[in-house]
Chain A
Amino acid sequence: MMFSKFKQSFKMAMKSIVGNKGRSALTMLGIVIGVASVIILTGIGGGATKEVTDTISEMGTNRITVMMTRGANSSRSIRLKDMQSYLEDNPELVSMMSPYLTAQPTVKQGTKNIVTSLDACDTSYEQIGNLTVESGRFFSDYEVEKRKKVCVVGTYIMQELFGGVDPVGQSLKINGSLFEVIGMYEESDDSTEGSGDDKITIPYTTATRLFSQNINTYYFYTDSEDTVVAATNDLNRYITAKLGTDEGFRVSNMLSLLDSLNEMTGVLTAMLAGIASISLVVGGIGIMNIMTVSVSERTREIGIRKAIGARTTDILSQFLIESVVLSGLGGVIGIVFGILVGKLVAALGMSSATQWNMVVLSFVFSLAVGVFFGLAPAKKAAKLNPIDALRSE
């Protein structure tokens, strides 16, 4: 019984919407734009988030960074020996460790010289840093131990200093010291200045002497992501105990970076969605206007329906369903439109990932807008006195 009344109301709503195509389309436009902009904006936000998290994941979420923040030469720095013994004592938490040092030295070959970014590390960094040597090899434990002046270069160095010829076996000068090139990384970006290919790697033992600097950073590596958080906390405790203070150093991992990044982009996405949903509310006001007009126009129809036995709730539900169908239809059109524009944006090279939870949410929201803004006109219709309504033209 309720169903046939509902079906009847739905049918009447469709008739009324189809019967006033132009007006219905204009009414729905606000909702269409609102829903579409929610989907497009959250899609772009989601795409950007995904791009950043992918980059971070590529860098390795299994990595833990221990950084001395008081400067490498401070007396209150953790010693390399302590880090090594931690690695040996905690095989269940961490599997590898590499001291790390970075510098911006001048690199010279023949008459050409450039400033590049230098990483100094242990042999394990090849894996920790997710490096791939294309030609030649990475340096060995022996070379680290003997402070050999060997280096692995990026493709930008090859382009700039060796004229694009494989430099393995050649030599170059770093801050005036002669180094042998023993390997070259595969191209990771586009071999331009400042890219991931603009780099050079040497043993940390060589670097501490060359730059007269102590190690200020250690990278730890866990075999599984599951132990990252536990290892981070444990390292924190260990170093705090060693130094007698919990200041002057920082232990961090990519996972927590990812978390805080996700949180940030989440807030950003929510803000975008919030702004977009304002147009949904405006669309709802449009629906309220049209429904109010529709009720006035159909006063006589309401009178007839009441005379032949429509209850207040029958009239209320008829008009409420009409406004919900109107806003729901607008929502569906907006979703289709939003997804298509998202695909277009993606095709144009920007990252865009349709947020399906936002699709569902904006559809539900558009239905809610229909109920909320349809209620007042529907109540007005339901309260009409049948005698007055029948008398109207």
Chain B
Amino acid sequence: MVAAPEEVQVAAVTPEEEIPAEAAVRAVLGVNAMIVLEDIKKIYKMGDSDVHALDGVSLHIKPHEFVAIIGPSGSGKSTLMNMIGCLDVPTSGRYWIDGIEGSKMKDNDLADLRNKKLGFIFQQYNLLSKLSAFENVELPLIYKGLPMVKRRSLAEAALDKVGLRDKMNHKPTELSGGQQQRVSIARALAGKPALILADEPTGALDSKSGVEIMQMMHDLHEEGNTIVLITHDLSIAKQAQRIITIRDGKITGDVDNSADQQGAGNVKPSALDDAETKAAELKGPSAIGGAAE
């Protein structure tokens, strides 16, 4: 369980890209952490008042974990996702992704960090409509600076994995929603990221495609990938090993769900009282990624 994903990671990060301080950071933190958030605060100015989108969030996520983050809109969930996704820097506090500190990085370094360590899956797929499925999957590899032959083999392997190799020359508009989401998963996987960040991946899909996509997430987890899934849907959250609840910019619940972990689309009552009661209040679309509408 530990060896296999480690290999995946080594393949993705070539020696010269390895940041020397990584080992030291791991040592200091004392944990083998994929994500470390340390007292993260994010304060937005809204007129005269300050809005505390994140109010001192600390979090450790270990490699190979399958974590769901659940919370209503306005809970700070999307800000947290932006932090984990290295799309934003905190007002105060620090965060590390796979041992690399992102909290003090400039735009271009954050872009590199996202490119090398993260694979995004969005609710609205976010594929480029003018590019074919293959070109969409290839895009992050281009930004990574890989040579064409390497890009081709990685992109084809990723499309193979999601079962869309035969449709790789199709434009997104020629594919169904479920297929588009699979292309976006292939794009997230192609660069062999350390962490897969899925933001309401089933939010825009019919239930059958949703089940398929969640099955795929499970498969990816089985293969040793670290997955952070953001959702407002408790039935989806319950399929994860660990459920983190966020509310008003604070983590209000962090439950090990591995014993009760449910299969895709197979929701049954569980011991997650805290999460469940909160989820009952969670109506309406998620604000994460802003694409819910």
A positions within 8 Å CB-CB of B: 1, 4-5, 8, 12, 15-16, 19, 300-301, 303-314, 386-387, 390-393
Contact assessment for A1 and B147 in the assembled complex, using a CB-CB cutoff below 8 Å: yes
Cα A393 to Cα B146 in complex, Å, equals 31
> B108 contacts which chain A residues (CB < 8 A)?
311-313
> A307 contacts which chain B residues (CB < 8 A)?
85, 87, 114, 120, 126
Given the contacts A307-B114, A311-B112, A391 and B139 also touching, CB distance less than 8 Å: no
Interface residues of B in 167-194 (CB under 8 A from A): 187, 191
Q: Which of B111, B151, B289 contacts A310 (CB 8 A)?
A: B111
> B290 contacts which chain A residues (CB < 8 A)?
390-392
Cα A303 to Cα B111 in complex, Å, equals 11
Decide if B104 is an interface residue (CB 8 Å cutoff).
no
Cα A12 to Cα B130 in complex, Å, equals 8
Contact assessment for A4 and B130 in the assembled complex, using a CB-CB cutoff below 8 Å: no
Decide if B31 is an interface residue (CB 8 Å cutoff).
no
B positions within 8 Å CB-CB of A: 82, 85, 87-88, 107-108, 111-112, 114-116, 120, 122, 126-128, 130-131, 139-140, 142-148, 151, 187, 191, 289-291, 293
In the complex, which residue of chain A has the Cβ closest to the Cβ of B109? A311
Given the contacts A1-B145, A4-B147, A304-B126, A309 and B87 also touching, CB distance less than 8 Å: no
> B144 contacts which chain A residues (CB < 8 A)?
309
In the complex, which residue of chain B has the Cβ closest to the Cβ of A19? B130
Given the contacts A308-B114, A309-B112, A8 and B142 also touching, CB distance less than 8 Å: yes
> A303 contacts which chain B residues (CB < 8 A)?
126
Contact assessment for A309 and B289 in the assembled complex, using a CB-CB cutoff below 8 Å: no
> A311 contacts which chain B residues (CB < 8 A)?
107-108, 111-112, 143
> A5 contacts which chain B residues (CB < 8 A)?
142-143, 145
Q: Which of B88, B116, B145, B293 contacts A4 (CB 8 A)?
A: B145
Given the contacts A387-B88, A390-B289, A391-B290, A309 and B143 also touching, CB distance less than 8 Å: yes
Q: How far is the CB of A13 from chain B (nearest CB, A)?
A: 11
Contact assessment for B142 and A386 in the assembled complex, using a CB-CB cutoff below 8 Å: no
Q: Which of A8, A390, A393 contacts B126 (CB 8 A)?
A: A390
> B85 contacts which chain A residues (CB < 8 A)?
307
Given the contacts A304-B126, A304-B128, A4 and B142 also touching, CB distance less than 8 Å: yes
Return 24 A-B CB contacts under 8 Å, by A number. A4-B148, A5-B143, A5-B145, A8-B139, A15-B130, A16-B130, A19-B130, A301-B128, A304-B126, A304-B127, A305-B128, A307-B85, A307-B87, A307-B114, A307-B120, A308-B114, A308-B143, A311-B107, A311-B111, A312-B111, A387-B87, A390-B122, A391-B289, A391-B291
Cα A19 to Cα B128 in complex, Å, equals 13
> A305 contacts which chain B residues (CB < 8 A)?
128, 139, 143
Contact assessment for A309 and B116 in the assembled complex, using a CB-CB cutoff below 8 Å: yes
Cα A8 to Cα B143 in complex, Å, equals 10
Cα A313 to Cα B145 in complex, Å, equals 13
Q: Other CB < 8 Å A-B pairs besides A306-B111, A312-B107, 17 of them? A: A4-B142, A4-B147, A5-B143, A16-B130, A19-B130, A300-B126, A301-B128, A307-B87, A307-B114, A307-B126, A308-B120, A309-B191, A310-B111, A311-B112, A314-B143, A387-B87, A390-B126
